[in-house]
Structure 1
Amino acid sequence: MQIQNTHKIIIGAVSVIVVVAVSYVLLGNRQPASRQQMIHEKGQNVMPFSLDKTQHIFKKTENGGTQSVVVRDPGDTQDLSLIRMHLQMEAQNFAQGNFSDPTGLHGESMAGISVLKTNYTKMKVTYSEIENGAKIDFETTDTETLSAIHAWFDAQVSDHGSDAVTQ
């Protein structure tokens, strides 16, 4: 009788362990999305082009830097057009101190943003089309603004993960 009770207890315990393990695998093992995954997903709401089909390129220079976006497939005329439209609008916004798209995506505390908002009159922001995309050049002679541009570029590369590279 005691052996039967022991078997029932063991079978019951094993059943509970199996149910818990299966539940963990099916429901509880979901990892929170990484910051890069979150930025990629939210980016679809801020940028009209496909992040999967494009590449952000950030290049820091002695007097600022260049932010470029290019299509991965040169034949992708739809995303090419959307890149150019978006970056032209963003360049106009940045030149006026409006960084609402980047802060909406990356957050208000993103490195460099507060200085760029304050010092927007201390930098020249220029849009131009490039082969397979477009770019925004940031130029300044102000050391605080220069540091902010570089910090902002670093933060974007970090946040965008495989969607962005440095040159």
Structure 2
Amino acid sequence: MPLPSKPNPLLIAAALSLTLVQPAPAQTASPERLEEVTRHGMHVMPFDLKQTRHIFAKTETGGIQQVIIREQGNAEQIELIRRHLKKISQEFSRGDFSNPAKIHGENMPGLTELRRAKPEQLHVVYKELDNGAEITYASKEAGLIDAIHRWFGAQLADHGSDAMPGHPHGAMHDRH
């Protein structure tokens, strides 16, 4: 079948729109890095990484981080998730990002900018979910929004198969 002499603009627009609405796949860190992060995470996060999933959705104003259980009815893990996310959301509101640094290292992308943010520049809100909890990060500062996005990207890479990107516009679903 001969190719048309001019590209079909509708076909190009349709193909482009399909690629723009899909979340970008996260790059996964090396097996050694994943092991290191898991080991450090066990000292900071009280819940079991293999029984939970981290979801990081970038939004226009920052992002939404969820930690949810993989299997319904795991009340113990839900309580551990909620306790931890509530605690760190309070710390983050005060500019204390020491726990992510303990897990991911002091040079974690976005961390320096988040630590420098003034309380009125970065809004951190904790919320309980039926299957875990979430933290919403929001700012009007373009540099902080970029820092949140880079910070989320680093966490996605470092948590490997225990993490996944959220869908655009914050609509997230657990995928198995």
* TM tier relative to shorter chain: 0.7 to 0.9
Tell me the equivalent position of 2:126: 127
Question: When the two structures are superposed, what TM-score results if normalisation uses the length of structure 1?
Answer: 0.79
| Higher relative contact order (CA closer than 8 Å, sequence separation 6+) | 2
Deviation per CA, 1:61-120: give whole Å up to 9, x if none. Answer: 000100100011111110100000000001000000000100011001000000000014
Structure number with the higher helix fraction is 1
Q: Which amino acid aligns with 2:164?
A: V
Counterpart secondary structure, 1:45: coil
Tell me the equivalent position of 1:163: 162
Counterpart secondary structure, 1:97: coil
How many residues end up aligned between the 2 structures? 136
Which stretches of structure 1, 4 residues or longer, exceed 2 Å deviation after superposition?
none
Residues of 2 paired with 1:75 and 1:44: CA distance? 22
Counterpart secondary structure, 1:158: helix
Worse-superposed segment, 119-128 or 83-92: 119-128
Residues of 1 paired with 2:62 and 2:158: CA distance? 20
Question: When the two structures are superposed, what TM-score results if normalisation uses the length of structure 2?
Answer: 0.75
Residues of 2 paired with 1:34 and 1:120: CA distance? 35
- Aligned Cα root-mean-square deviation (Å): 1.2
List alignment gaps of at least 5 residues for structure 1.
1-31
Contact persistence 1:64–1:140 (CA under 8 A)? yes
List alignment gaps of at least 5 residues for structure 2.
1-29, 167-176
- Aligned residue among 58, 61, 72 for 2:59: 61
> Residues 103 and 132 (structure 1 numbering): CA distance in 2 closer, same or farther, change over 3 Å?
same
